[in-house]
Amino acid sequence: MAKMQWPKWTSITLGLALAALTAVGSVKAADCPREDALGTSRIVSVDAKTTPRVGLKSFPQTLPLADHEVVLTFDDGPRPKTTSKVLEALAQECVRATFFLVGRSAAEHPEMVKRIAREGHTIGHHTWSHPHMARIPADAARYEIDHGIASDEMALHGVSTSTPSTPFFRFPYFESTPAQLDLLQARGIVVFGADLWASDWNDMTPEQELKLITERITAAGKGIILFHDAQARTAAMMPAFLRYLRENGFHIVHIVPADTSQRNAEAR
Residues annotated catalytic, as ranges:
75, 228
- Which residues 6+ apart lie within 8 Å of 161 measured at CB? 149, 150, 153
CA distance 124 to 253: 16
Do 254 and 97 contact (CB within 8 A), yes or no? yes
Do 3 and 201 contact (CB within 8 A), yes or no? yes
Closest to 175 (Cα-Cα) out of 141, 214, 210: 141
- Which residues 6+ apart lie within 8 Å of 159 measured at CB? 153
Torsion of CA 232, 136, 160, 48, to 10 degrees: 80
Do 44 and 63 contact (CB within 8 A), yes or no? yes
Strand duo 42-46 + 251-257: pairing: parallel
- What's 2's DSSP letter? P
- Bond prior to 167 in cis (omega within 30° of 0): no
Partners of 254 in beta bridges = 43
φ/ψ region of 47 (left if φ > 0, alpha if ψ in -120 to 50, else beta) reads beta
Q: Taking the CA of residue 79 as centre, how many other CA atoms within 13 Å lie in the half-sphere pointing to its CB? A: 15
